Chain A
Amino acid sequence: MSYETSALCCCEYYDRNQERSHILTCCCDCEDLDEAFESLITGNQVSQKHKKGILLTMQNRFRIPWKGGAKQIAFDAILPIVIIPIMLLLASISLWWTFFSFTTVAIFLLFISNFLIRAVHHTKFFFVWTLTSVIVLYLIFEFIVIPFLEILLEENIALSMFIFGFVICLYLMKTRIKSISSIRESEAENGTSGQYYLQCTQCSICQLKIPDRDHHCVWFDCCIGKHNQCLFVLAIFFAIIALLYSSNLTLTSVCHPFTLYKTILLPDDCSEVYKLFELGLSFVAAVYSLIIAALLLVLLFHQILLISLGITLRDWTRLPLTKKLCLGLTMKRPNSRGICQNWKIVMCWTKNNHSISNQM
């Protein structure tokens, strides 16, 4: 009994079933793994329950020694911190490695995203991926591209401004949830909650009731509703500008540049970038930025379309293909108030005018 109540040593922890365990025993004693193995050997299919069990046990046992008991690290949250640098380092070897490593990671992402969203409910994988990308790309720019001495101070400052804009939008987007809950409280006090709650949708991932919910963005780990949609669009906008600008600065530094209409500097010959490690890494980071920027651009246009139409992403996914091809113009849109009003509601959202716009 005295053993049970004594303080944890740095390598000990309480496991899933509230039992005391030690890090070094991490590879022993996993019922799910045993059973999964058994069914594999006997030729049966491994059940979803066992798969999930293995994953959870793995996650639970993946710990680092820490004062006052070993700390748990979410396995899926660590993954991007490992994958992104490795992907960029491998890609900087040669052109074929670039193709290989980018396609591998893209395919891996496609497969793992479905699995992760289902299996690990509150996975931080995608959000950590976003953060790691931003940090790694910024570090490469500041400490590899800038020392080539080809970028002016004001260009560096301008890029930092765009990144700062993105980060601020992201931060506000995530904190506006608090404004929402304060509104809910005040409306509950005033007794107007009935009208308000009608519009709310429960988000299965963040476990919150979000009014006028659009969708849950896993990459920002944040629910998007009417309250933060304008910040969402702004964040994507800043991200696209920052990515395009940084990749242009990088590519014109490491490649041979030419001037278009005597004003815009663009790269034209990048054949020698893989000959030096620094050049290769900068080039690959720029290509990665361009790919993300292209994807974000599609997302931005989609968001603009949805806001103009006054429908949510959920409505859009339910549309048949023929109506999607007509850009959704032919569908019935009960919540739409015309293109100008739709944009006004999204762009001018504040705590005060929120309930007014709902009553209109």
Chain B
Amino acid sequence: MLRQFLIILTIVIIFIAVYFPTRHARHYNYIALQNIANELDLRKPIEIDYNLKNCTYHGVVLNNEDINIDSVYVTKTFNKTFIGGEYKPSRCLPLIKTALIVPYRSRPNHLNIFLNYMHSFLQRQNIHYRIFIVDQNDTSPFNRAKMLNFGATEAMKHKYNCLILHDVDLIPINTGNIYGCTKVPRHMSSSLDTFRYNLPYLTLFGGAAAISSEHFKKVHGMSNKFYGWGGEDDDFYRRLVQNDLEPCRFPPEISRYIMLPHEKQKASENRFKLLEESEQNQKTDGISSLSQNYIVKLEDLYTHIIVS
């Protein structure tokens, strides 16, 4: 009797251990396609041109199209941008003002593909945007979060109220994936091809994310202490949750991304230790503790921020 009980108990334990949900990729909650336009954080620009009607974003989301992946690498035509990679739609008054902040170091091929693609992609969405490339120009390990902090500080000086923290190797392939902020922060790259278009875990906030500048200031930006690959996005997620800003997501059919091919980086070994430590010094570690030694250069297609 006892033996049978023990056998059944072991089978049940093994069963639960094998099929435990957190061992698998997850389905996630998202804002329904029809409600997205209402959830967007739309604001009238300061300098209003009364001759223009407001832009609408409902159609952009609902007329979603999948872009053919082969066409990502093809040179595209797009309207000429202002110097520094800024663009404003001329037919209507944009209610979204986005700074696309891209941490970067020595991947010229990716940068060329990214800029060429993103300008043509973003110009279809009726938004006012500018691309900031934040270049880490030193020999220490890459610090993605710090670069994003620099980019965000510079973007906020130019009164961009929506910040999109974006990796240079991520390419959105749904035209309905609107590059604007929602009322709460949003994780954008929830359906990535290298993850089999699944979400690995629910608290993932890396890749591409949109957050309003007020919220970014409220959580003191990202931690500057994460050198190497991994950890900084999980830390940022914790900061958001502790400030009652539970991130949202869009449906998978408009959140698909492809990752430009490159070698997988090894995760930094001390990222879990850093994660524990950084909880205590959230208020001191962030955009307020940044040095100011960076140079801003205006290129044709982007604003180049060189951090040394």
Q: Interface of A with B (CB < 8 Å)?
A: 142, 146-153, 155-157, 252-253, 256-259, 262, 265, 269, 272, 275-276
Contacts and interface: CB of A to CB of B under 8 A. Distances in A.
Contacts of A276: 264
10 contacts: A149-B24, A149-B200, A150-B195, A152-B24, A155-B24, A156-B19, A252-B196, A257-B196, A258-B69, A265-B196
A256 B193 contact: yes
B276 interface: no
Contacts of B69: 258
A265 B25 CA distance: 15
A149 B263 contact: no
Interface string B18-52: 11010111110000000000000000000000000
Contacts of A252: 196
A275 B196 contact: no
A176 to B, nearest CB: 26
Contact of B24 (A146, A259, A265): A146
B23 A146 contact: yes
Q: Which 8 A-B pairs have the closest CB atoms?
A: A149-B200, A153-B24, A150-B196, A150-B195, A152-B25, A252-B196, A150-B25, A146-B23
Interface of B: 18-19, 21, 23-27, 66, 69, 193-198, 200-201, 261, 263-264
B24 to A, nearest CB: 4
Nearest to A149: B200
A262 B24 CA distance: 23
Contacts of B196: 150-151, 252-253, 257, 265
A140 to B, nearest CB: 13
B198 A150 contact: yes
A320 to B, nearest CB: 50
B198 A152 contact: yes
Contacts of B201: 149
A155 B264 CA distance: 25
Which of B194, B196, B261 has the most A CB atoms < 10 Å from its CB? B196
Contacts of B27: 152
Nearest to B256: A259
Given A151-B196, A252-B196, A157 B25 contact: no
B23 A272 contact: no
Given A275-B263, A275-B264, A149 B194 contact: no
Nearest to B266: A276
Given A149-B24, A252-B196, 14 more contacts: A146-B23, A148-B200, A149-B195, A149-B201, A150-B25, A150-B196, A150-B198, A151-B24, A256-B193, A256-B194, A257-B193, A257-B194, A258-B193, A269-B261
A150 B21 contact: no
Contacts of A259: 197
A153 B19 contact: yes
Contact of B21 (A153, A257, A258, A275): A153
A266 to B, nearest CB: 11
A257 B257 CA distance: 12
B263 A272 contact: yes
Contacts of B261: 256, 269
Contacts of B23: 146-147, 149
Contacts of A256: 193-194, 261
A297 to B, nearest CB: 25
A146 B18 CA distance: 9
Contacts of A142: 18
Nearest to B199: A149
Nearest to B204: A149
Nearest to A253: B196
Contacts of B197: 259, 265
A141 B197 CA distance: 19
B259 to A, nearest CB: 8
B25 A149 contact: yes
Contacts of A152: 24-27, 198
